[in-house]
Structure 1
Amino acid sequence: MMLAVSHPQIIDRVSAETSWMRRSGEKGWASFQFEDDGKPWALHDDTARQAFLRDVLEILDVAAHRKSEADWFRSIRIHPITGEETEITQATIYVEDRAESELAFGPSATLERHLVQKVLEVGLACNPLSRIVEIAARGGKKVRDQYAASFAKHFAPQSAAPIEVPRREVLLDTLRAQPDFVTEPADGIARVEVSSLDFFSVGGAFARFEKRGEDETIYQFLERRFGSMSPLRTGGWTIVAATLRIFLEARNGKRARTLTVTLRTPNSTTVPNKTEADRHFVFGLLERWRLVAPPPKDFDLVEDFD
């Protein structure tokens, strides 16, 4: 109770992260960037897929007789703001885990102990155009590195080893009030807008608001529509995601374009999906606007390596 009274924002953030971990099955996520060398990936090679599956079983440290299945499929990601479509090759690998004993009501309406066969899951999402591989699995950094190394070995043997995209803490409390996006002439930015905000309530509810257009900002919309009951003004609501649209001017023979960046707590961004030049440019802006924490020092990195 003392922590809740003294540090309400920290408690709200812990609640949001705990809720996410429960919904994701305690799986962590990591994104790995390959060099844009133009060399093809063998994503559809059955031999490579079988070899990768064997490596997954070894990384999970399960017995060889355990049942396993790899479901490979293609999906289309549609950006919620721009509507841009991206084709992604995905795989979900299911591996039979040890059975667990759980209590349940039986036919006689009394509690009985039942054996439940558990299944481990490892998720993979590949974007050959941007040369990015995303991995969702239980375990820490060492485990993520093993999956990435196995992917490179079997699907991209001609390319250099990928690098895990650094994850920077996202500081979304900065967006609780209309931010002052400070720009410089050299940036070539016409304007910046917050086009969506996602909220999490201590009661377990999620809410998303989207607003596009120059006539009214999302802050003006929330104030007009909800007034003092806006999640930006009332307690118990935490901003867990936001989307920014950075409108760039036409310069040096290049047409005007828009960079769309989505930030999610605690440390996810879509910045790695941009080109190398755009990544450096956008991260510099996010640091200037205090939306991401400074790069951590080596001795500040603390993570579960089990």
Structure 2
Amino acid sequence: MASFSGFIRKSPDARLETFLTVLGVEAPDDFNWTSQGRGTAFVNDITALIADLPDLKQDRVQAELDHLASLSTPQGMIAAEQICSAQDIDLEGLQGVQDVLLMLAIDHPKTLERVSAQASLMQRTGGKNWSAFQFENDGMPWALDDEEARAGFVSDAIAILELPKHRKREADWFPSVRVHPITREETEILQATVYVEANAESELTFGSSDGLERQVTQRVVEVGIACNAKERIVEICARGGKKIRDEYASSFCKHFAPESPPPIAVPRRDVLLNTLGSNPSFPTEPADKITSVEISSLEFYSVGGGFARFERRGDDEDIHHFLERQFGEHSPICSEGWTIIAATLRIALAPEHGKRAKTLTVTLRTPNTTTIPNKTELERQFAINLLERWELLAARPEPFDVAETI
């Protein structure tokens, strides 16, 4: 997390002055907003201005600055770019993440809330409070803009959380834009943060009499979802374990995709295709009952914006030798400026007694898409184990938790 003092040092003069003025921080006319070096003295001067405020206002200003400092990370900048791109908020020319966050706090406070929610979702992705669900690509449209479907999903959230129906709830639906890390292709994602009034908590606090008092605080729990209609993927971020997130996925299917089969929960892990450029081996074990493994197709992206796909199947020549024979030193495998973005593996399995031989086909596509969800549960586990052994999948994320927003 970025520090409070570091955030102040890196903030543009005029934007920081405007932000503090909006919050009621008054500076004398001769205050030096362009303090040379932005060192400890400047931070102390700002802290002194805040200290002159009434106690409650001090707390508010400090909390706002701490919040912005927590978002002033590379991940926070990516979140801002994803949300602002979909909201037509131009970030061109702004001086870094501090300038972006201050601008949003001043001019677009609602958007800043969404950036915060997006940064939280990005941080939790792959963690123990997150699950991704893959829908079958059946061509059936999702009713994401249907207000009745949205209201039904939010009502289900109350039931899933086992809270009384009278509890307050609010849902913020908003678009974001994800950019492919290699091709820079943009994909619009519909996201929602569902806020639900949870059970109250009693805690000690210092009251107006300066003595300890017991105060009842109404908690708020959040459920985050991200809907990628193009890839037919829904991400659910919620506390309560996998069973709870399965219920949210079932509710999503019921309200937004009622004509589609139920989705399958799958891990969203980055695929690693760099090793496929050197004609790698695919080590197997006798227990795998694999007779052969081949790369049947490769897809490439050029820095100039071009795409190319090559397919080769046959026992006489693999795809690497095929490309070398066809293009020599100009093969996209060895030429500069070309990157592998997708590959298809054909895994031939030994025939079981009395049955025909089978071939398991798996396609991997950067950054984190595979065709594994289309397989049976047994095939999915088998394929994941193989891809991990062949180092084509990123390591499993370490379990972690993030403090719940109150």
Q: TM-score range by the shorter chain?
A: 0.5 to 0.7
Q: Distance in 2 between matches of 1:236 and 1:55?
A: 49
Trace 1:13-52 onto structure 2 (pairs within 5 A): 31-32=132-133, 51-52=148-149
Q: Distance in 1 between matches of 2:319 and 2:305?
A: 23
Q: Shift in Å at residue 234 of structure 1?
A: 1.3
Q: 1:122 to 1:55 in 2, by over 3 A?
A: farther
Question: Which of 314, 319, 328 is residue 227 of structure 1 equivalent to?
Answer: 328
* Structure 1 residues 53 and 203: alpha-carbon distance in aligned structure 2, compared to 1, 3 A threshold: same
Residue type of the alignment partner of 2:326: R
Give the aligned residue type for 1:212. Answer: R
Shift of 1:254: 3.4
1:135 corresponding residue in structure 2? 233
Aligned positions, number: 203
In the alignment, structure 1 segments of 5+ residues that lack a partner are: 1-20, 35-42, 63-92, 95-120, 126-132
In structure 2, runs of 5+ residues without a counterpart are 1-81, 88-121, 123-130, 155-169, 175-188, 191-225, 239-244
> Could you tell me which residue of structure 2 aligns to residue 289 of structure 1?
390
Shift of 1:51: 4.1
- Aligned CA distance change for structure 1 residues 249 and 298 (closer, same or farther; 3 Å): same
Alignment of 1:242 onto 2:337:
no
Structure number with greater CO (CA < 8 Å, separation at least 6) is: 1
- Paired residues of 1:190 and 1:248 also in contact (CA < 8 A): yes
Q: 1:147 to 1:200 in 2, by over 3 A?
A: farther
- 1: distance between equivalents of 2:343 and 2:267? 19
When normalised by structure 2's length, the TM-score is 0.41
AA paired with 1:189?
Answer: I
Q: How many Å separate the matches in 2 of 1:33 and 1:197?
A: 23
The Cα offsets for residues 164-210 of structure 1, whole Å up to 9 and x where unpaired, read as 41112211001011111111111111111101101111111111111
Q: Deviations over 1:238-296 (max 9, x none)?
A: 11100000011102443211111000111111112111111111111111111112211
Identity %: 54
What is the rounded CA distance, in whole Å, between the counterparts of 1:253 and 1:197 in structure 2?
A: 34
TM-aligned CA distance change 1:203 to 1:50, over 3 Å: same
Amino acid aligned to 1:135? I
1:173 corresponds in structure 2 to: 274
Q: 2:249 aligns with which of 142, 145, 148?
A: 148
**CA 1:176 to 1:59, structure 2 compared with 1: closer, same or farther past 3 Å?**
farther
Q: Is the 8 A contact 1:52 1:154 kept in 2?
A: yes
More helix by share: 2
Is 1:216 paired with 2:309? Answer: no
CA change 1:240–1:55 in 2 (3 A) is farther
Alpha-carbon contact 2:291-2:348 (below 8 Å) kept: yes
Match of 1:276 in 2: 377
Cα root mean square deviation, aligned: 4.5
Contact 1:188 1:251 in 2 (8 A): no
